[in-house]
């Protein structure tokens, strides 16, 4: 299987975790987009009933509506049964780096509150340690970005302001903030670093998701591999 086929395979496998009357956190990204489309088809075909999605971004919300998935907001539900999302990196302990799509804050809010957090990746996302290939996205308040970038030097990190590709200037998140991409030489303790980064004034949230993933479905050339905490 090529990468796109792996993404489709894990997205279809994720449907086995969905039942009637579930509230589902809908992640952001290319793999989760396949899941949302497949979920919408099951709902439209009458194979699932009273299923509702809570999107983590404008992108996920628009795709859910287009695909026929009923959408609700976080304050309209008492609980989230399962959250389904992708990841940019997954280490052997199932710690994650997420946020290349810029939706890390709402992703973390929803996925930390889900009864089960199901992660969908292809095998290229598996790493021996976090930030091996990808920087850690950090959502910051715009007036503070430069000061925060300088403060990250204390962590031996090199931070760059993420620039937009189809507009002038920096990427703007759904919350109206900037994204710093911080490359760490080595992350010894993901949970400790996740907490420390969030104590920096002006940081809204960061893309380390430590001790949160329950199940990771990995698309490989040989098939789907299931990893559990």
Which pLDDT belongs to residue 166? 79
Which pLDDT belongs to residue 15? 98
pLDDT surpassing 90 at residue 127 = yes
CA distance 98 to 32: 13
Which pLDDT belongs to residue 33? 97
- Tokens for 58? 């404008």
> What is the average per-residue pLDDT within 152-171?
92
CA distance 197 to 188: 14
pLDDT surpassing 90 at residue 10 = yes
Element (H, E) at 25: strand 23-26
Residue 107 annotated as catalytic: yes
pLDDT surpassing 90 at residue 76 = yes
- Tokens for 140? 């910051």
Which pLDDT belongs to residue 36? 98
Catalytic residue (one of 107, 111, 194, 205) = 107
Q: Collect all residues with Cβ–Cβ distance below 8 Å to 108 and sequence separation of at least 6.
A: 98, 205, 209
Rg of the chain, C-alpha, whole Å: 17
> What is the average per-residue pLDDT within 165-174?
90
Q: Are strands 215-220 and 223-228 parallel, antiparallel or unpaired?
A: antiparallel
- Tokens for 100? 């290349």
Confidence of residue 16 (pLDDT cuts 50, 70, 90): very high
Which pLDDT belongs to residue 1? 74
Burial class (CB in 10 A: 0-12, 13-18, 19+), 27: buried
- CB-CB contact of 171 with 162 (8 Å): yes
Element (H, E) at 157: strand 157-161
Q: Which of 66, 79, 103 is nearest to 24 (CA)?
A: 79
Which pLDDT belongs to residue 86? 97
Task: Please tell me the pTM assigned to this model.
Answer: 0.94
- CB-CB contact of 180 with 140 (8 Å): yes
């Amino acid at each position: 299987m090529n990468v796109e086929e792996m993404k489709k395979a894990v997205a279809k496998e994720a449907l086995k975790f969905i039942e009637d009357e579930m509230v589902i956190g809908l992640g952001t990204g290319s793999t989760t987009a396949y899941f949302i489309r497949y979920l919408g088809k099951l709902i439209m075909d009458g194979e699932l009933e009273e299923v509702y999605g809570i999107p983590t971004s404008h992108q996920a919300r628009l795709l859910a509506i287009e695909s026929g998935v009923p959408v609700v907001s976080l304050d309209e539900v008492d609980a989230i049964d399962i959250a389904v999302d992708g990841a940019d990196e997954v280490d052997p302990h199932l710690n994650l780096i997420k946020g290349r799509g810029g939706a890390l804050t709402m992703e973390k809010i929803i996925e930390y509150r889900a009864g089960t957090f199901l992660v969908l990746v292809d095998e290229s996302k598996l790493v021996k340690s976090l930030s091996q290939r990808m920087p850690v996205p950090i959502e910051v308040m715009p007036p503070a970005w430069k000061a925060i970038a300088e403060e990250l030097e204390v962590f031996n990190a090199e931070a760059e302001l993420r620039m937009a590709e189809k507009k002038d200037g920096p990427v703007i998140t759904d919350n109206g903030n900037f994204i710093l991409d911080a490359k760490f030489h080595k992350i010894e303790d993901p949970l400790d670093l996740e907490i420390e980064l969030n104590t920096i004034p002006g940081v809204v949230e960061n893309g380390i998701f430590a001790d949160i993933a329950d199940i990771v479905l990995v698309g490989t050339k040989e098939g789907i591999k299931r990893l559990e905490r």
